[in-house]
Amino acid sequence: MTARFSRRDVMNGAMAATFAAFMTGTGRPAQAAALKFGPVKPFSWAGLIDRARDMSTKPYTPPYRPSPEIVSQIDYTQHGKIHFKSDDALFGDTPGIFPVTFFPVGKYFAKSVKMHAVDGDKAREVLYEPEYFDMPDDSPAQKLPEDTGFAGFQVREKSRADWRTQDWCAFLGASYFRGIGQLGEYGLSARGIALNTASSVPEEFPDFTEFYLQPATAPEQPLVVYALLDGPSIVGAYRLVIRRTEGVVMDVENQLFLRKDVERFGISPLTSMYWFDEYDKSYQLEWRRAVHDSEGLALWTGAGERIWRPLVNPPEVNTSVFFDNNPRGFGLMQRNRDPSHFLDRWLNYERRPSLWIEPIGAWGAGSVQLIEIPTDHEDFDNIVCMWVPKDPVKAGQAHDFRYRMHWLSDEPYPATQLARAAATRIGRGGFPYTRKNPPEIRRFVVEFGGGQLDQLPKDVKPEPVISPARGTISSIFIETTSWSKNWRLQFDLAVDGPEPVDIRAYLKEGDKALSETWLFQLHPQQMK
């Protein structure tokens, strides 16, 4: 089972001239006068790859953990009181550059990560100083040694007047990172790699142990982040070209070298939270209508099919596998943007970003795998989605992948001609208004809207296609709703046994699909 990762822990030309001063050792960079740097060292992407390859042939060395007895005292509350001084931000005083500030170590982020500033083919390490941080006089962090280092970093909004308090990208904890969506909120996270998630062996969480930050030269230009990933089973070199658009777009390239065999090798892994929505609200003792960072998995297969799979909070750890060849894209989406759906004025779930993965180049055969973990609270991420190659991953192998990550409010390439599954509802099946219906019969009501479905002539009714993995379908009925242009598909499913049941449905006219494919997984024992 995957570790339960706390979102709360996470929530908390001119440039060339500037760098020339500290690269030659003649002075500190003007953009961060208080920062101290290590000696100049050569740096290149090719050199980082070579280093990762060489490290993979040697035994694993765990990251440095400074003063564990002190760091363990810096809990969530204490960590939240420690703030990097914005006046000391890397690249902070250079016009048109995104400033970078750093996170302190703490109980939940106890490993030290090395930070470097890059200029051309040279880099210097940003050296830790306790004076970089504002903290209470009685903070345990006051006792940390001078070689403590940083836990991660965040990128600030240079073009905004409030850049000192607004960040749009953050790297913190293992290989986790996040981008802000176009609606101004953080939500789900990404990881550099996922190893043995929900497999027969313990999950491994490799770390980004070193970062190399190459500044943007203007607000419309990207920040380039190079990272070294290290773990017992793998070493990797990463290059992320990060652009601030209406949301955030990241081009990711990696070179991965295996020390050990890996049972489940997760590429471009996404991590999110789903507790409940209206279709499974009846099982929750909660006054809100829905609580989730993501509500569904969207797939665009190599064959061109569009699939929408609403998330569920299962009774036990559940893995769904979607086999594919050269997928066009997939992601965890937050489609509902109506605040009244969530009824939470503080957490703004309706503004959480969607994250779409766009493969670059041929990924070959494999599967998108969705892992859903039971939860009874919104504090922990319980959803993992990733691409898993078909072929086994063995020690000594090398792999490389390229992909683009879109942190937006919706898919970047929606199928505008296809209707979407706009709502899913589940209730008691059989004859309405009676209590004598068999408990094994469930009624599904799925609304489809948009695309060519809205353009159907009044005398044309779409044809539903419903395919359960097992069970008997009955009482199929389709009608328009009185409050929108949506079409409402209704059907009953009678199923025996406690095992999960996958159900597929879509609308068509003749041989032409009018909607995406709605795919749902029913857990019968959860509805008794």
Instruction: Report the CATH number that the domain containing residue 309 is assigned in CATH.
Output: 2.70.98.10
Which residue's entry shows tokens 């040694």?
A: 145
What's the gap between Cα 93 and its chain centre? 31
Here the tokens at position 509 are 């006219």
**Helix (H) or strand (E) segment spanning residue 384:** strand 383-389
pLDDT of residue 482: 77
Domain membership of residue 97 (yes or no) is: yes
Contact (Cβ atoms closer than 8 angstroms) between residue 268 and residue 386: yes
Domain membership of residue 515 (yes or no) is: yes
pLDDT tens across the length of the chain (528 residues): 333 334 333 333 333 333 333 443 333 333 444 899 999 999 999 999 999 999 999 999 999 999 999 999 999 999 999 999 988 999 987 766 789 999 999 999 999 999 999 999 999 999 999 999 999 999 999 999 989 999 999 999 876 555 566 899 999 999 999 999 999 999 999 999 999 999 999 999 999 999 999 998 877 889 999 999 999 999 999 999 999 999 999 999 999 999 999 999 999 999 999 999 998 876 567 889 999 999 999 999 999 999 999 999 999 999 999 999 999 999 999 999 999 999 998 999 999 999 999 999 999 999 999 999 999 999 999 999 999 999 999 999 999 999 999 999 999 999 999 999 999 999 888 876 556 667 778 999 999 999 999 989 888 999 999 999 999 999 999 999 878 889 999 999 999 888 999 999 999 999 999 999 999 999 987 765
Here the tokens at position 227 are 């990272």
Domain membership of residue 32 (yes or no) is: yes
Burial 1-33 (b: 16+ CB within 10 A, else e): ebeebebebbebeebeebbeebbeeeeebebbe
361 & 489 share domain: no
198 & 58 share domain: yes
Here the tokens at position 201 are 């062996």
pLDDT of residue 159: 63
Contact (Cβ atoms closer than 8 angstroms) between residue 501 and residue 494: no
Domain with 128 in it: 5-408
HSE-CB at 436 with a 13 A cutoff on CA atoms is: 2
481 & 391 share domain: no
141 & 44 share domain: yes
Domain count, the chain: 2
**Residue type at 385?**
C
Domain membership of residue 290 (yes or no) is: yes
82 & 138 share domain: yes
54 & 130 share domain: yes
Domain membership of residue 413 (yes or no) is: no
Question: Domain ends where: 373, 408, 443?
Answer: 408
Contact (Cβ atoms closer than 8 angstroms) between residue 10 and residue 170: yes
The CATH number covering residue 447 comes to 2.60.40.10
Domain membership of residue 100 (yes or no) is: yes
381 & 493 share domain: no
Question: Domain ends where: 408, 435, 450?
Answer: 408
Question: Domain ends where: 408, 435, 462?
Answer: 408
366 & 458 share domain: no
In 215-328, DSSP assigns E strands to 223-230, 234-244, 248-258, 265-272, 274-276, 291-292, 296-300, 306-310, 318-325
Say which residues have a Cβ less than 8 Å from residue 389's Cβ, sequence separation at least 6.
265, 267, 363, 364, 365, 366, 399
Domain membership of residue 502 (yes or no) is: yes
402 & 434 share domain: no
pLDDT of residue 283: 59
277 & 326 share domain: yes
Here the tokens at position 113 are 């990560």
Domain membership of residue 414 (yes or no) is: no
Determine how many CB atoms are found less than 10 A away from the CB of residue 392: 10
Tell me the C-alpha to C-alpha distance, in Å, between residue 7 and each of 195, 295, 302, 462. Answer: 20, 16, 33, 42
Question: What are the two backbone dihedrals, phi and then psi, of residue 191, each rounded to the nearest 5 degrees?
Answer: -135, 160
Which residue's entry shows tokens 């192998």?
A: 397
424 & 293 share domain: no
351 & 440 share domain: no
Helix then strand then coil, % of the chain, to nearest 5:
15, 40, 45
Which residue's entry shows tokens 């409940």?
A: 276
